[in-house]
């Protein structure tokens, strides 16, 4: 299907705002009735956002602790305690589910 220039111009004339089909009809000004966009964030989401911001402020690497562990490992005095590892894994799992 080919649309000619004349057809496009005729269509534009039909939809022109000044096109009056009934000269006796009253024209009312068009008012903008659009509402502004809104975003409503729940209190729980706000809390999560604050927690994540605070977590990001804390450095994930504690240099003193890393050096201490390296020293213990190199000396052969570093001990792995299975119950402490398991406890920490469970704690982190529960924390991740809450956040």
Mean pLDDT computed over 18-46: 71
pLDDT exceeds 80 at position 21: no
When pLDDT is cut at 50, 70 and 90, the band that residue 42 belongs to is confident
Cα-to-chain-centroid distance, residue 42: 13
pTM for the complete prediction? 0.29
What is the structure's pLDDT at 74? 93
pLDDT exceeds 90 at position 2: no
Which pLDDT tens digit goes with each residue over 54-87? Answer: 887 877 778 888 899 999 999 999 888 899 999 9
Pairwise CA distance, residues 88 & 92, whole Å: 6
Helices (H), 1-99: 5-14, 43-57, 63-75, 82-98
Residues 6+ apart with CB under 8 A from 20: 27
> Beta-carbon neighbour count of residue 48 at 10 Å?
14
Better pLDDT: 47 or 4? 47
What is the structure's pLDDT at 54? 84
């Amino acid at each position: 299907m080919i649309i000619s220039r004349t057809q496009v111009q005729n269509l534009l004339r039909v939809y022109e705002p000044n096109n009056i089909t009934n000269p006796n009809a009253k024209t009312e000004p068009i008012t903008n009735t659009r509402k502004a966009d809104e975003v409503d964030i729940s209190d729980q989401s706000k809390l999560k956002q604050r927690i994540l911001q605070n977590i990001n402020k804390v450095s994930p690497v504690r240099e003193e602790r890393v050096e201490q562990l390296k020293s213990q490992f190199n000396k052969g005095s570093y001990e792995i305690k299975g119950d402490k590892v398991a406890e920490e894994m469970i704690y982190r799992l529960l924390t991740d589910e809450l956040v």
